[in-house]
Amino acid sequence: MAATHFLSQPLKTHQNPLHKSLKTPFFSNPKIIPFKPTFKNLNLRAILSETPAKTQKFEHCFTKSEQDGYLYCEGLKVQDVMESVERRPFYLYSKPQITRNVEAYVEALEGLNSIIGYAIKANNNFKILEHLRQLGCGAVLVSGNELRLALRAGFDPTKCIFNGNGKLLEDLVLAAQEGVFVNVDSEFDLDNIVSAARISGKKVNVLLRINPDVDPQVHPYVATGNKSSKFGIRNEKLQWFLDAVKSHPNELKLVGAHCHLGSTITKVDIFRDAAVLMVNYIDQIRAQGFEIDYLNIGGGLGIDYYHAGAILPTPRDLIDTVRELVLSRKLNLIIEPGRSLIANTCCLVNRVTGVKTNGAKNFVVIDGSMAELIRPSLYDAYQHIELVSPAQPDAEVSTFDVVGPVCESADFLGKERELPTPARGAGLVVHDAGAYCMSMASTYNLKMRPPEYWIDEDGTVSKIRHGETFADHMRYFEGL
């Protein structure tokens, strides 16, 4: 179904397969057999190299005009967009910015055989997925429904990677039938993949997800490559997995190695540290007769959430730091960007309900909340906040907590933000809301998930997801 156009003319611009389960597992608890690396095991903590990466300042698609004080996106006033769509919180994307972000990775990967696997967990909007697929992306999946969505959006299954530490047998059967790459995360995961191969009658291309014990220096909730993480295989168990794969030649083909360090990473040397470890593992795995063709270095490149002029690593910086390692081993490179493809393309657009003061604390209360955007509450994450329109000339600048109407003290979008005191009904945006915002939204307090729109290349605004309604909620109880 085509996206619904709300502005027919551009606004004036400012510059089920059958499943069967097994009664007993194929593998008993494995005996730990140390894998003997030819290099010293290190718990690496990356330090920026003495030669800085060739970085450049990011030009944001949402910009505040110095001439009139309004916020614009792709030449359109966000205020005008607010007046043309439903009067409720909504997500507003720049479709051209999504394209530009993908193109940055495509250009960075020139000269390498590669797959850009977009991490669907970051944002699962169907129209966005179709656009990313048209731009040549593959997909990274962490659930059976994400796999079904990727297939519905037309992604090439041979450019899809199925991750996760608790993949279900029925979902693995679908992955096997479709020819998706599957990462092996544990002993029972390998057991289930073998079962899925037998049920489907298809050999599964697998990668071993190795936990490299590299500290990504990020919030612990988004660190995934530490030795205490729930994800991946520790190196001392690696030989057992290699032997297990060898014992199932009709079900499994080991084609690569995978690692994922975490998210919001802003030092590309961390990726280099991990890649050095991974190619050494690949050398040793190849020495045992395996034809390893793929290195998957995961995703996790951070963005400038603070809008403070920071110059952060670009996709080219990331790829250049691992390029020679990949070429030296004649490997195909898989990367799994999510946040860096979609986060900076979007704002959550809200209206101010009112302003209040309790004691020494000032609050801006808006109609959006933690239900629509939970990152600040969940991770204490910072996302830039600003008003859509210029404030009144006499508006006092004060320090506010920006909060929603949800019945929780944790319901905040930003704390200690210096803003002109906004009028009731004024527009207020939370920036960089494309990743891990709508995909983590809830209906807590029966705040129904909001609609999504994007600004197209031709300057029109289109709806790309309907907002949920109370009637949608009640449909879950029909006929009971």
Is 407 catalytic? The answer is: yes
pLDDT of 429 > 50? The answer is yes
> Quick one: DSSP state of residue 371?
T
Provide the pLDDT for residue 3: 52
Taking residue 18's Cβ as centre, other Cβ atoms within 10 Å add up to 7
To the nearest 10°, the Cα dihedral for 164, 169, 174, 180?
A: 40
Provide the pLDDT for residue 202: 98
pLDDT of 404 > 90? The answer is yes
Whole-angstrom distance, CA of residue 325 vs CA of residue 275: 7
For the record, the structure tokens of 426 come out as 């004024």
pLDDT tens-digit map of 355-387: 999 999 999 999 999 999 999 999 899 999 999
For the record, the structure tokens of 302 come out as 């951070």
State which amino acid sits at residue 404. G
pLDDT band, residue 462 (cuts 50/70/90):
very high
To the nearest 10°, the Cα dihedral for 307, 313, 319, 321?
A: -160
Whole-number average pLDDT of the chain:
87
Angle, helices 187-200 vs 238-246, to 10°: value is 20
Whole-angstrom distance, CA of residue 438 vs CA of residue 122: 9
Marked catalytic residue, from 61, 73, 137, 407: 407
Q: Whose CA is closest to 292, among 302, 281, 301, 303?
A: 281
pLDDT mean over 285-293: 96
Higher pLDDT, 90 or 6: 90
Terminal Cα distance for the chain, rounded: 31
